[in-house]
């Protein structure tokens, strides 16, 4: 299946000052598949090492960090021949071998010509808990997310729609010819999401029950990870938080409130458990910025935040919203429809490399997302239907003199100028092309 990150991997391959590459991402988002495809396309030889399934290989890294010796022993174990410049070496599930992570420093310093990629689903957790010595400054990093909507459309055989919209003029209304299939695909994406196995199952079967079986298996695997890898005292807390996310997202004021996780529990008791889920890539936090300035991260309130899931399909499955409800756009689905739209946009922004925050002024005004782009603050308003009246958005633009902003909704495409702000009204299904419209 097509993955955008292949372009970044190709750039990394040809970098003059290339370092070993650390590929991170939530479990089962396609890291191994992507690297396998990358190896097959660009390298003559490929050495794949999985430290989780072949624990004994950790012994190769125990003696010292002589990378020539390490490669020589790996060659013997795999009956392979590693040729720098022609061979890709892939250390998968590297968090299971902490000394292999440390060795990346020595690969960077003493064997620069060798292409080394490593990946680890729970590496973020291991690093935060000081379980490994990380080679700071000695690795390049890339983050892989579940498949974006653009990738989902291409996987469904509609690359023609992506090509059609890649240079779509902002002043041309989108006709039903294109609007109907894109709207249908977006609903399907809300149901299926972007976990590669779920997408593959959908493409092969067109059966939502089969898709839900896969999604529930993935969710069960995540629950197993809690038990295997989280501190014993945090396991029940992690489960409470994990179970509360869909409900908290669907609230009108969807600030994450610890007291809603478990009656009688305070934030101090639950913060570590929430951070474990964030470090594992399962949840994404967006923080409040009341008085936005660049850089946004410097003025964010770390104690006031919203929490989203890394995949819209898994959110839908965990919310117990049936596929028929999404497809029929039932009236009783309004609250969750809004939550799904917001989580979807958050995932799209992350896949585009944005770091979203949100703005709130007291209890009277809120903009769903704001992010920085070339020193400018871009407000993003999300509406799940075609009602795009947004007083808070207008207030933000006026107060902070925004040059441009975005409204994502079910309305057709348009450009509006109000005072000094150009607002791009973009259909939700074109969120993947945000940078083009704003350029």
pLDDT in tens, 209-244: 999 999 999 999 999 999 988 999 999 999 999 999
CA 50 – CA 54 distance, rounded (Å): 6
pLDDT in tens, 266-292: 899 999 999 999 999 999 999 999 999
Q: Is the pLDDT of residue 186 over 60?
A: yes
pLDDT in tens, 376-388: 999 999 998 877 6
Distance of CA 409 to the CA centre of its chain: 21
Q: Which two tokens stand for residue 172?
A: 């041309």
Residues 6+ apart with CB under 8 A from 7: none
In CATH, the number for domain 5-143 is 3.40.50.300
Domain with CATH 3.40.50.300 in the chain: 5-143
DSSP conformational letter for 267: H
Query: Would you state the pLDDT for residue 130?
Result: 56
Question: Looking only at Cα atoms, what is the longest distance across the chain?
Answer: 69
Angle at 429 between CA 427 and CA 430, to 5 degrees: 70
Query: Would you state the pLDDT for residue 156?
Result: 98
Q: Is the pLDDT of residue 125 over 90?
A: no
Average pLDDT, the chain: 94
Within 10 A of 221 (CB to CB), how many other CB atoms are there? 11
Helix, strand, or coil here: 417? strand
Once rounded to an integer, what is the mean pLDDT over residues 184-195?
Answer: 98
pLDDT in tens, 7-43: 999 999 999 999 999 999 999 999 999 999 999 999 9
Query: Would you state the pLDDT for residue 419?
Result: 84
Query: Would you state the pLDDT for residue 132?
Result: 65
Query: Would you state the pLDDT for residue 263?
Result: 85
Percent of the chain predicted with pLDDT > 90: 87
Which residues share a beta bridge with 285? 307
**pTM greater than 0.85 (yes/no):** yes
Which residues share a beta bridge with 3? none
pLDDT in tens, 402-420: 999 999 999 999 999 988 8
The residue ranking higher by pLDDT, 352 or 135, is 352
The residue ranking higher by pLDDT, 168 or 365, is 168
DSSP conformational letter for 360: E
Instruction: Single out the residue of 223, 264, 245, 239 nearest to residue 340, CA to CA.
Output: 245
């Amino acid at each position: 299946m097509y993955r955008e990150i292949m372009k970044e991997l190709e750039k990394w391959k040809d970098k003059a000052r290339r370092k070993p590459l650390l590929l991170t991402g939530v479990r089962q988002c396609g890291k191994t598949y992507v690297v396998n495809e990358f190896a097959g396309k660009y390298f003559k030889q490929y050495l794949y090492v999985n430290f989780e399934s072949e624990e004994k290989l950790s012994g190769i890294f125990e003696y010292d960090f002589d990378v020539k010796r390490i490669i020589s022993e790996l060659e013997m174990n795999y009956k392979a021949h590693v040729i720098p410049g022609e061979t890709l070496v892939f250390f998968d599930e590297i968090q299971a071998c902490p000394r292999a992570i440390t060795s990346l420093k020595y690969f960077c310093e003493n064997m620069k010509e060798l292409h080394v990629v490593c990946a680890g689903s729970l590496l973020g957790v291991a690093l935060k808990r000081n379980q490994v010595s990380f080679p700071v400054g000695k690795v390049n990093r890339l983050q892989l997310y579940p498949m974006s909507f653009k990738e989902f459309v291409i996987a469904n055989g509609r690359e023609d729609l992506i090509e059609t919209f890649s240079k779509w003029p902002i002043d041309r209304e989108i006709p039903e010819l294109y609007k109907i299939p894109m709207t249908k695909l977006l609903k399907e994406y809300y149901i299926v999401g972007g976990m590669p196995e779920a997408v593959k199952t959908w493409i092969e079967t067109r059966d939502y029950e089969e898709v839900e079986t896969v999604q529930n298996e993935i969710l069960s695997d995540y629950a197993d990870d809690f038990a295997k890898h989280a501190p014993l005292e945090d396991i029940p807390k992690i489960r409470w938080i994990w179970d509360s996310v869909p409900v908290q997202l669907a609230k009108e004021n969807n600030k994450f409130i610890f007291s809603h996780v478990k009656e009688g529990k305070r934030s101090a008791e639950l913060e570590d458990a929430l951070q474990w889920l964030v470090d594992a890539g399962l949840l994404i936090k967006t923080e409040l910025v009341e008085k936005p300035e660049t850089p946004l991260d410097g003025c964010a309130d770390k104690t006031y935040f919203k929490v989203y899931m890394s995949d819209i399909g898994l959110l839908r499955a965990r919310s117990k919203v049936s596929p028929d409800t999404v497809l029929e756009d039932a009236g009783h689905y309004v609250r969750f429809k809004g939550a799904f739209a917001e989580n979807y946009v958050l995932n799209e922004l992350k896949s585009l490399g944005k770091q979203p925050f949100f703005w709130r002024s007291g209890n009277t005004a809120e903009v769903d997302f704001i992010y920085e782009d070339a020193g400018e603050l871009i407000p993003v308003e999300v509406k799940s239907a075609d009602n795009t009246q947004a007083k808070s958005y207008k207030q933000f633009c006026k107060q902070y003199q925004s040059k441009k902003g975005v409204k994502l909704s079910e309305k057709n495409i348009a450009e509006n100028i109000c005072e000094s702000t150009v607002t791009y009204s973009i259909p939700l299904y074109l969120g993947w092309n945000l940078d083009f419209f704003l350029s």
